[in-house]
């Protein structure tokens, strides 16, 4: 962005609520935080999330159908990370931003991942002569986004009958979603902005949309497919969440609430993998934190990984499952196992009545389930999406994407890791700015289970 456009963001101390933060006198046309926040909350946390998830699910199913032909033969793939980066990112990007965006450049998705891989060199502000490729990827991506905006504006204007424009479910073929169409107009009208600065802001959003959720889905799938008995259980749980009479359409309400092992593995994936700095700054008043206070205008940073590995809070079953390892059942409370549950023994937290009822039911029926999923008592300790007004606006969508992608992979496909004995290693080259990713390729073979 040019400096004039950046200054609007830098000088906006007004916060994201309608009422400005006391002491701030930013005029309405400079309130970047308020406008972007409002549009994200309406677009990602409102009614639109259900049809958006359905579009992602449909697109991902088609991607898998194309990638894995109907046959009893195995298809061999080099790397599960690459596979999901290609197919899941494509589904998410098309559902949110429409088909025009990725048509601007055949390599849009691969450039986005290359940009993400080198993001730390930009965060450290290395000059372009030191990392010329990174600057090129970023500029190419911004150029593609500008071309998409330009085309979407023109096509929307020429579509007088509105046949392809905004639909009642929030879909817009040119912009992907009405959220993106309205966001473009709103951002462009703000002080100091121009088409390039709006494309820059959209690049940040597009980056945030895929670069945490896709590697997290990958980690979840790897953990599932690394162990045949886990894969079988996840398949059974997922099948119980299919919409009646369908083979591959999930009832999202059931999937997000009634599949205990899948939910535990989802929560553990985020506990284990998310290593994001959550920044907070109170511009005019000191900020009370615990027994201390952060002076006005100074930045406080909370890191999710530190909270996620707090030995005083988390259960390791007497050291059998250290916090730097992945324990699929960590979030399951089993009435027959004193060492179960996410909280360290001795850490008491009153459970809600629904959870208590489920546990009672389980102990009476000696049910085959491994336990009752719970995150209760973990406020401030399990914070993969941050918290408060600025908590990740994509959190509902992220959960649905991770659960449905894993459910779909295990129901529709048979996946075998080619080297299951070697545990996948993860590293944190982007500590503070994202999630852990595997440092090695995860080769696998795959074939269709459901042949249609
Ligand atoms: C597993 C997936 C994801 C994780 C772990 C994650 C994590 C986070 C975290 C920790 C924050 C900072 C929150 C805070 O300051 O309290 C954040 C912000 C944000 N996330 Fe996510 N996120 C994920 C997926 C998504 C998705 C799918 C989208 C979009 C569809 C998204 C869009 C955003 C945006 C726009 C912000 C900035 C919000 C603001 O500053 O008001 N995220 N995310």
Per-residue pLDDT tens over the stretch 134-143: 999 999 999 9
Average confidence score pLDDT of the chain: 92
**366 pLDDT more than 60:** no
**367 pLDDT more than 70:** no
Which pLDDT belongs to residue 346?
A: 77
Ligand 1 contact via 216 beta carbon (within 6 Å) = yes
**149 pLDDT more than 80:** yes
158 pLDDT band, cuts 50/70/90, is confident
Which protein residue's CA is at the shortest distance from atom 42 of ligand 1?
394
Give residue 426's Cα distance to chain centre.
18
Ligand 1 contact via 69 beta carbon (within 6 Å) = no
DSSP summary character for residue 26: -
Q: What is the DSSP string of 38-101?
A: HHHHHHHHSTTHHHHHHHHHHHHHHHHHHHS-SSSS-EEES-HHHHHHHHHHHHHHHHHH-HHH
Q: Is residue 315 part of a domain?
A: no
Q: Is residue 51 part of a domain?
A: yes
**226 pLDDT more than 80:** yes
- Total domains in the chain come to 1
Distance from the alpha carbon of residue 319 to the mean position of ligand 1, in angstroms: 32
The three-state secondary structure class of 389 is helix
Ligand 1 contact via 390 beta carbon (within 6 Å) = yes
Average pLDDT over residues 250-273: 96
Cβ contact 12:32 at 8 Å: yes
Give residue 185's Cα distance to chain centre.
26
Ligand 1 contact via 209 beta carbon (within 6 Å) = yes
Average pLDDT over residues 102-119: 94
Residues 148 and 100: their CA atoms lie apart, in Å, by 6
Q: Is residue 437 part of a domain?
A: yes
Which pLDDT belongs to residue 337?
A: 87
Give the CA dihedral 136, 106, 186, 55, nearest 10 degrees. Answer: -140
Which pLDDT belongs to residue 452?
A: 58
Which pLDDT belongs to residue 72?
A: 84
Which pLDDT belongs to residue 351?
A: 82
Q: Is residue 404 part of a domain?
A: yes
Residues 192 and 372: their CA atoms lie apart, in Å, by 52
Calculate what percentage of the chain has a pLDDT beyond 70. Answer: 97
Give residue 179's Cα distance to chain centre.
18
Distance from the alpha carbon of residue 366 to the mean position of ligand 1, in angstroms: 39
Residues 431, 433, 434, 437, CA torsion sign? negative
Which protein residue's CA is at the shortest distance from atom 20 of ligand 1?
392
Ligand 1 contact via 205 beta carbon (within 6 Å) = yes
Distance from the alpha carbon of residue 89 to the mean position of ligand 1, in angstroms: 16
Residue of 394, 401, 435, 436 to mutate, ligand 1, most atoms within 8 A of C-beta:
394
**368 pLDDT more than 70:** no
The three-state secondary structure class of 30 is helix
Calculate what percentage of the chain has a pLDDT beyond 90. Answer: 80
Distance from the alpha carbon of residue 212 to the mean position of ligand 1, in angstroms: 8
Distance from the alpha carbon of residue 395 to the mean position of ligand 1, in angstroms: 7
250 pLDDT band, cuts 50/70/90, is very high
Average pLDDT over residues 278-284: 93
Residue recorded with tokens 């970047």: 32
- Which class for 189: exposed (0-12), middle (13-18), buried (19 or more C-beta within 10 A)? exposed
Residue of 56, 266, 268, 392 to mutate, ligand 1, most atoms within 8 A of C-beta:
392
Distance from the alpha carbon of residue 385 to the mean position of ligand 1, in angstroms: 6
Q: Is residue 364 part of a domain?
A: no
Ligand 1 contact via 384 beta carbon (within 6 Å) = yes
Q: Is residue 284 part of a domain?
A: yes
**Among candidate residues 163, 164, 161, the one with its CA nearest the CA of residue 175:** 164
The three-state secondary structure class of 286 is coil
Which pLDDT belongs to residue 11?
A: 96
Residues 141 and 108: their CA atoms lie apart, in Å, by 7
Q: Is residue 328 part of a domain?
A: no
Residues 380 and 450: their CA atoms lie apart, in Å, by 42
**Among candidate residues 116, 141, 133, the one with its CA nearest the CA of residue 200:** 141
Distance from the alpha carbon of residue 296 to the mean position of ligand 1, in angstroms: 25
Distance from the alpha carbon of residue 66 to the mean position of ligand 1, in angstroms: 30
DSSP strand pairing (426-427 vs 292-294): unpaired
Residue recorded with tokens 């601007």: 104
Which protein residue's CA is at the shortest distance from atom 2 of ligand 1?
213
Ligand 1 contact via 449 beta carbon (within 6 Å) = no
Distance from the alpha carbon of residue 285 to the mean position of ligand 1, in angstroms: 26
**Among candidate residues 115, 92, 105, 111, the one with its CA nearest the CA of residue 44:** 92
The three-state secondary structure class of 278 is strand
Which pLDDT belongs to residue 40?
A: 96
- How many alpha carbons lie under 13 Å from residue 329 in its C-beta half-sphere? 16
Residues 389 and 324: their CA atoms lie apart, in Å, by 30
Q: Is residue 325 part of a domain?
A: no
Residues 367 and 4: their CA atoms lie apart, in Å, by 63
Which protein residue's CA is at the shortest distance from atom 39 of ligand 1?
390
Alpha-carbon radius of gyration of the chain:
23
Atom of ligand 1 nearest to the CA of 40: 35
451 pLDDT band, cuts 50/70/90, is low
Please report, for the domain that includes residue 51, its CATH number.
1.10.630.10
Which protein residue's CA is at the shortest distance from atom 6 of ligand 1?
385
Average pLDDT over residues 253-275: 96
420 pLDDT band, cuts 50/70/90, is confident
Average pLDDT over residues 190-208: 97
Cβ contact 284:22 at 8 Å: yes
Average pLDDT over residues 236-257: 92
DSSP summary character for residue 259: -
Question: Whole domain around residue 116: which residue ranges?
Answer: 3-310+381-448
Ligand 1 contact via 217 beta carbon (within 6 Å) = no
**430 pLDDT more than 90:** no
């Amino acid at each position: 962005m040019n400096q004039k456009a950046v200054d609007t963001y830098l000088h906006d101390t007004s916060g994201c609520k309608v009422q400005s933060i006391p002491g701030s006198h930013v005029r309405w046309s400079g309130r970047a935080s308020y406008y972007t926040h409002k549009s994200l909350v309406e677009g990602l946390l409102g009614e639109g999330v259900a049809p958006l998830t359905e579009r992602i699910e449909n697109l991902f199913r088609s991607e898998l159908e194309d990638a894995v032909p109907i046959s009893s033969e195995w298809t061999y793939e080099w790397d599960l990370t690459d596979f999901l980066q290609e197919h899941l990112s494509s589904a998410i990007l098309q559902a949110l931003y429409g088909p025009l965006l990725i048509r601007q450049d055949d390599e849009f998705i691969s450039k986005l991942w290359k940009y993400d891989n080198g993001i730390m060199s930009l965060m450290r502000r290395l000059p372009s002569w030191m990392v010329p490729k990174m600057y090129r990827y970023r500029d190419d991506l911004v150029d593609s986004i500008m071309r998409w905006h330009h085309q979407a504006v023109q096509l929307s204007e020429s579509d007088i009958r509105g046949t392809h424009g905004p639909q009642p479910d929030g879909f817009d073929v040119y912009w992907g979603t009405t959220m993106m169409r309205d966001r473009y107009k709103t951002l462009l009208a703000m002080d100091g902005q121009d088409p390039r600065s709006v494309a820059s802001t959209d690049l940040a959003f597009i980056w945030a949309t895929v670069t945490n959720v896709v590697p997290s889905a990958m980690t979840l799938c790897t953990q599932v497919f690394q162990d045949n008995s886990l894969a079988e259980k996840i398949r059974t749980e997922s099948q119980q969440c299919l919409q009646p009479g369908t083979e591959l359409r999930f009832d999202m309400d059931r999937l997000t609430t009634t599949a205990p092992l899948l939910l535990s593995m989802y929560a553990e994936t985020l506990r284990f993998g998310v290593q994001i700095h959550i920044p907070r700054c109170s511009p005019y008043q000191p900020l009370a934190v615990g027994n201390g206070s952060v002076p006005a205008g100074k930045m406080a940073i909370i890191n999710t990984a530190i909270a996620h590995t707090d030995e005083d809070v988390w259960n390791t079953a007497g050291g059998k499952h250290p916090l730097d390892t992945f324990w699929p059942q960590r979030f399951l409370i089993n009435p027959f196992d004193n060492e179960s549950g996410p909280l360290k023994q001795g850490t008491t937290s009153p459970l809600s009545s629904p959870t208590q009822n489920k546990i009672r039911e389980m102990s009476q029926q000696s049910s085959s389930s491994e336990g009752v999923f719970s995150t209760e008592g973990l406020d401030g300790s399990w914070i993969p999406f941050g918290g408060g007004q600025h908590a990740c606006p994509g959190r509902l969508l992220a959960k649905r994407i991770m659960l449905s992608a894993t459910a779909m992979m295990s129901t529709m496909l048979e996946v075998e890791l080619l080297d299951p004995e070697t545990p996948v290693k993860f590293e944190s080259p982007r500590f503070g700015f994202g999630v852990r990713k595997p440092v090695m390729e995860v080769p696998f073979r795959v074939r269709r289970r459901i042949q249609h």
